[in-house]
Amino acid sequence: QVQLVESGGGLVQAGGSLRLSCAASGSIFSINVMRWYRQAPGKGRELVAGITSGGTTNYADSVKGRFTISRDNAKSTVYLQMNSLKFEDTAVYYCYANLIQYRGSYSAQYWGQGTQVTVSS
């Protein structure tokens, strides 16, 4: 089975930085897109940033210029560098991967368990 394990969340003051990591493990042939989503209390889950296997990135308007997504394909790991954090960035951050487990199989979606990011004002 495939697992996505996030790390790096925590409590930080407004204006500070955090770096999230998400490592995929298990039977993996290839990983297509990897993304970070977040869900604040009382709100729906929203896309924060995504990155393809070729390195193409996209960001939510609310985080452009402050967050940077990157990935290490050799380690099956995606990162989210978060700078200039704001109170409204407080949320549970979830890692997502669309990947192929075996050559010739269909792709499937996987989610991490989430990591809490709390920004104090």
Inform me whether the pLDDT recorded for 121 exceeds 90. no
- Please, what's the largest Cα pairwise distance for the chain? 49
Binning pLDDT at 50, 70 and 90, where does residue 8 land?
Answer: very high
Higher pLDDT, 103 or 113: 113
pLDDT of residue 104: 86
pLDDT of residue 99: 94
Within 8 A by CB and 6+ apart from 75, the residues are 23
**pLDDT mean over 57-79:** 97
pLDDT of residue 90: 98
